[in-house]
A and B are shown apart, each in its own frame.
Chain A
Amino acid sequence: MVNLKELKKEAERILEEGKVKYIIGYERGTNGFWPTPAFIKNPEDVEKLIWDPTCVYNLTRFLVDEKRRKAKEKKPDERPVAIIVKGCDSRALIILLQEKFINREDVHVIGVSCENGGVLDEKKLARRVKGKKALKVEFGEKDKLIVTTEEGKTEIPAEEILAERCLECKANFPVIFDVFLGEKTKRQLDNPFHSLEKIESLSKEERWAFWKEQFDKCIRCYACRSVCPMCYCDECVVDTINFAVTADTPAEEKAQKIKWVEKSPVSSENFVYHLVRAIHLAGRCIDCGECERACPLDIPIRLLNKKLEKEAKELFDYEVGFDPDQPSLVSSFKDEDPEDFIK
């Protein structure tokens, strides 16, 4: 069990010693139930820190922002930033380290385990408590979560309200950390790609119909891109920010700049955007499910990433996010890679 007191004590210690610039963690949000990311600089503020199944966000995204901010500062504070990570967040951190986007000495990792296997799914919880307002959720004993609503406490089996990705999580504890709180409970899953079965069993036409319906909804708000810790390119292929077309842009200049994807949210462009996004995350996505959570139109984006994770495992025996020294999926190869599809 993660002892919140220990977490606060550790946070207070590193802040008082001046070891870190600040701590990225979770605090209770203004609506009283869901948390909000907390950036704690003063040792007095550590009381705000929380850790419970409502802490769904992947905070490693803020390390990407921190790096950008630091690059602009004239006299940057060279101390590391402390961050509270769950299992999936720590794997995101491993990918950032693997790609040498951030350095290990720039981050102080406080790992927490997801006791009974994970964090909540907002919709599942709302359905389970039948419209009552949940006030508090705690980790309970034996794969149960204790949910407090207006009508009192109830114990709910964890799998009923956990996020889909948490049910497919292979290791619900951090794989990289400086300080670790909680217990390591590696799970043996019969089928770690359970959520794909439904779509894979459909015929080709049905699959197309399914994804067309999903992608037609997309309004191209790019929330999935903004929230993803792996989408850190300075310029994304889907919006050429350096290329503004004005009334007097000459035709030659327009022809030289390629617009890979149109911005209009129409079916064909949405398809290309989502395909590109998925392929750019092949072998990098660690399934933190943030894209799907952030999507305002509930497009099951995670299923695209999960499929490529599965293919990487099956075709190339590549496991994502456990070893920072492993070469990335698309910049490595094996002689025995399959080539039966090549003429």
Chain B
Amino acid sequence: MAEEFEPKIVAFLCKWCSSAGSDLAGVSRMEYPPNVVPITVMCSGSISPLYIFSAFNKGADGVLVSGCHPGDCHYIKGNFYARRRIALVKKLLEYIGFESKRFQMSWVSAAEGTKYTEVIKDFVKQLKPLGPQTQLRRNL
């Protein structure tokens, strides 16, 4: 029997909110799929589009960028910059015909452990039917 496809998600989480949110989900013993590889960054605004392309290039099936809700940024406006940048990345990926469902952004605060688990659950559900990501995967 063939094993079910388990997508690998690279999640860039803001240190001040989403990362703490995922911690909260952990310490509260909430269950969510173990498909995520979390990478803590100092701010969602510090995420270069290159990180995202590179994650896909090195074999991620999905990339999640998660930051603070607008107005809650530790650095006042980092997430506003991220919002603009990610919108452009998303449009560019759509334009070249990349499966844009593989790329997602969310706002998760430090208190939203439940929301974090839901975001991951939904994302995994969304990625499973798509199968492995081969479009940008490094193939030397």
Q: Is the CB of A308 within 8 A of B91?
A: yes
A268 at the interface (CB under 8 A from B): yes
Segment touching B, from A25-33, A123-131, A221-229, A326-334: A326-334
Please report the C-alpha to C-alpha distance between residue A330 and residue B139 in the assembled complex, in whole angstroms: 31
Q: Is the CB of A278 within 8 A of B92?
A: yes
Interface residues of B in 103-140 (CB under 8 A from A): 104-107, 119, 122, 135-140
Chain B residue numbers with a CB within 8 Å of A204 are 94, 97, 99
Interface residues of A in 263-281 (CB under 8 A from B): 264, 266-269, 271-272, 275-276, 278-279
Closest residue of chain B to A210 (Cβ to Cβ) is B97
Q: How far is the CB of A8 from chain B (nearest CB, A)?
A: 44
From A260, A266, A276, A282, contact of B139 by CB (8 A): A266
Q: How far is the CB of B126 from chain A (nearest CB, A)?
A: 11
Chain B residue numbers with a CB within 8 Å of A200 are 95
Please report the C-alpha to C-alpha distance between residue A331 and residue B119 in the assembled complex, in whole angstroms: 28
Q: Is the CB of B98 within 8 A of A341?
A: no
A243 at the interface (CB under 8 A from B): no
Chain B residue numbers with a CB within 8 Å of A206 are 97
A101 at the interface (CB under 8 A from B): no
Q: Is the CB of A342 within 8 A of B83?
A: yes
Chain A residue numbers with a CB within 8 Å of B98 are 208
Q: Is the CB of B70 within 8 A of A339?
A: yes
Please report the C-alpha to C-alpha distance between residue A315 and residue B88 in the assembled complex, in whole angstroms: 9
Q: Is the CB of A330 within 8 A of B84?
A: yes
Q: Is the CB of B83 within 8 A of A333?
A: yes
Q: Bits for A132-150, please: 1 = Cβ < 8 Å to B, else 0.
A: 0000000000000000000
Q: How far is the CB of A86 from chain B (nearest CB, A)?
A: 28
From B50, B83, B92, B104, contact of A343 by CB (8 A): B104
Q: Bits for A155-195, please: 1 = Cβ < 8 Å to B, else 0.
A: 00000000000000000000000000000000000000000
Q: Is the CB of B50 within 8 A of A311?
A: no
Q: How far is the CB of A224 from chain B (nearest CB, A)?
A: 16
Q: Is the CB of B107 within 8 A of A342?
A: yes
Closest residue of chain B to A275 (Cβ to Cβ) is B53
Chain A residue numbers with a CB within 8 Å of B139 are 266-268
Q: Is the CB of B96 within 8 A of A271?
A: yes
Please report the total number of B residues contacting A with Cβ < 8 Å: 38
Given A311-B91, A333-B83, A341-B105, check contact A268 B137 (CB 8 Å).
Answer: yes
Closest residue of chain B to A341 (Cβ to Cβ) is B90
Please report the C-alpha to C-alpha distance between residue A237 and residue B97 in the assembled complex, in whole angstroms: 24
Chain A residue numbers with a CB within 8 Å of B53 are 271-272, 275-276
Interface residues of B in 30-49 (CB under 8 A from A): 49
From B50, B105, B135, contact of A342 by CB (8 A): B105
Chain B residue numbers with a CB within 8 Å of A237 are 50
B85 at the interface (CB under 8 A from A): yes
From B49, B88, B99, B140, contact of A311 by CB (8 A): B88
Q: Is the CB of A279 within 8 A of B89?
A: yes
Q: Is the CB of A279 within 8 A of B92?
A: yes
From A272, A276, A333, contact of B80 by CB (8 A): A333
Q: Is the CB of B138 within 8 A of A208?
A: no
Q: Is the CB of B106 within 8 A of A343?
A: yes
Q: How far is the CB of A267 from chain B (nearest CB, A)?
A: 7
Q: Is the CB of A268 within 8 A of B57?
A: yes
Q: Is the CB of B138 within 8 A of A268?
A: yes
Given A262-B138, A268-B137, A272-B54, check contact A211 B92 (CB 8 Å).
Answer: no
Please report the C-alpha to C-alpha distance between residue A210 and residue B129 in the assembled complex, in whole angstroms: 24
